[in-house]
Amino acid sequence: MSDVKRMLAELQGICNNPKAQLDAALEREQKVVGVLPYFCPEELVYAAGMLPFGLWGAEMQTSLSGRYYPAFTCSLLHTALELGLQGKLDGLSAIMVPMCCDSLKCFGPNWKYGVGSVPVIDVAWAQNRKIPAGEEFTRARFRAVLAKLEEVAGKPVSDEEIAAAVAIYNANRAALRAFSAAAAAHPDEVSPLERCEAIKAGYFMDRAEHTAKLQALTEALNALPKGSGKPLRLITTGILADSPALLGILEEQGIAIVDDQVAQESGFFRTDVPATADPVAGMSQRLAMLEGCSILFDPEKERGRELVRLAQGADADGVLWIMAKFCDPEEFDYVPVKRMLDKAGIPLLAVEYDQQAGSFEQARSAIEAFAEMLRG
């Protein structure tokens, strides 16, 4: 096995067995805090010496969550709740729930009365994020979250510790950006699924450790000659693009992901926390700088412009939108963003995705046809 494959396999192992990471942390007596999307102040968890643990649902059938959420709730929240209800997340010291979409606003109570044993920390951030009052609100409420995290951790957290955590997170973001670029340049070495797993592993492990592994991997990749094949070059967009079955179809069709605008992926790593005297203010400012996500207030649909820029910048053949079923923000964005892509002459395929689906045959047909179409 080559170095690259070995390192990818290692990250794959971490990504595909988050439970082992959780157990290992508990074994070493480190507290673990679950973090739901989107844009929670994870750095504060890290600064408090605890392990932030990403909760992005899972591909699974649910049986218990239907007692709380109606069938028309997105599968991310259905399956995240299901994991809790099944006791798979026992051991978490708390979960952070940002109330930034209508279904997320309902997660906390469903969790509280369903799971019970793990306390909920509500997170509020400003949608009017580019005005000073919005930045100040987010900063103040992140401070309130910090106070709750200090209680969970059982110790106070200094600004120096927060600044150090921010630095570690920014370094991780830089490493992820470098890896994403290296993966795009070496599609023969890194499959769409492997790319995703390497990125996603960071949600379950120490970010500093993740950075070290990614840097070694990126270095090894960049030492290799650039890929000689002629894959189709696609940009992915959406909330999640981590389905092994879907990504497997991309690989079969000779498709490379050359950049992404996916909440779980570049939504985490495209934008750093700026340096500020109050590190929590910097975290709030990052929210003001973020673009490219339907969860954010975006009256100019900067998301569409960014997508056009990304596609043109990466010389992409098209855009693949992994459309999260029952996600209001995504479903609203689809119409104007598609128009912007059409205007720019960038082909778009939207594939509906549901983590509880089990079958991807329709998606397979659509992706195959899209690939056939783009190849002419």
Partner 1 sequence: MADLLTLGMDVGSTTSKCLILRNGEEVLASALVPAGTGTSGPSRALEEALASAGLAREDVAVLTATGYGRSTFPGADYVVSELSCHALGAHALCEEARTVIDIGGQDAKALRIGPDGKLESFLMNDKCAAGTGRFLEVMARVLEKDVSDLAEMDEQAEGIVPISSTCTVFAESEVISQLAKGVDLCSLVKGIHASVAVRTAALARRLGVVPPIAMTGGVARNAGVVHALESELGTSIRVSPLAQMAGALGAAIYGYRKGSESA
Partner 2 sequence: MSAEEAKSAMIVLRELQDKIAQDAWDAKNRGEKAGWCASNFPQEITTAMGIPVVYPENMGAAVGAKGGGQRMCEHAEGLGYSSDLCSYARINLAYSDLKECQELEIPFPDFLLCCNNICNCMIKWYENIALELDIPLILIDIPHLEGESCDEDRVRYIRAQFDDCIRQLEEITGKKMDYDRLREVMEISQRSSQAWLRAVGTMENTPSPFSGFDIFNNMAVACVGRGTVEAAEAFEQLADEYEALAAEGKSSFKGEEKYRILFEGIACWANLRTTYKGLQSRGINLTATIYGPAFSFLYQNLDELMAAYAMVPNCNCFERELELRVHDGLKNKVDGAIFHMNRSCKKWSGNLYEMERQFREITGVPTMVFDGDQSDPRCFSEAQYITRVEALTEIMESGKEATRR
130 lines the binding site for partner 2 (CB under 8 A)? no
**Per rule CB under 8 A, is residue 132 in the interface with partner 1?**
no
Q: Which residues of 85-176 form beta strands (DSSP E)?
A: 94-98, 120-123
The amino acid at residue 117 is S
Of 56, 69, 269, 370, the one binding partner 2 by CB under 8 A: 69
**Helix, strand, coil percent values for the chain (each to nearest 5):** 55, 10, 35
Q: Is 365 near partner 1 (CB under 8 A)?
A: yes
Alpha carbons 331 and 303: distance in angstroms, whole number: 14
Q: What is the DSSP string of 157-224?
A: --HHHHHHHHHHHHHHHHHHHHHHHHHHH-TTTS-HHHHHHHHHGGGGS-HHHHHHHHHHHHHHHHTS
DSSP state of 108: H
* Position 102 contacts partner 2 (CB under 8 A): yes
Find the shortest distance in angstroms from Cβ 78 to partner 1. Answer: 15
CB 289 within 8 A of CB 265: no
Give which of partner 1, partner 2, none residue 255 binds (C-beta under 5 to 8 Å, depending on kind). none
Contact in structure between 227 and 186 (CB atoms under 8 Å): yes
Applying CB under 8 A, which of residues 347, 355, 358, 360 lies at the interface with partner 1? 347
Window contacting partner 2 (CB under 8 A); options: 53-61, 283-291, 294-302, 363-371: 294-302
Contact 234, 319 (CB under 8 A): yes
Figure out which of the listed residues 229, 335, 345, 359 binds partner 2, where binding follows CB under 8 A.
335
**In whole angstroms, what is the distance from residue 56 CA to residue 38 CA?**
10
In the complex with partner 1, which residue's Cβ is closer, 223 or 369? 369
Confirm or reject binding of residue 90 to partner 1 (CB under 8 A).
Answer: no
| Other beta carbons within 10 Å of 342 | 11
Contact flag: residue 134 with partner 2 (CB under 8 A): yes
Residue 102 binding: pick among partner 1, partner 2, none (C-beta 5-8 Å cut-off by kind): partner 2
By the criterion CB under 8 A, which residues form the site for partner 2?
Answer: 67-70, 72-73, 99-103, 105-110, 112-114, 122-128, 131-134, 136-137, 140-141, 144, 294, 297-301, 325-326, 328-329, 331-336, 338
By the criterion CB under 8 A, which residues form the site for partner 1?
Answer: 325, 347, 352, 354, 357, 361-362, 364-366, 368-369, 372-373, 376
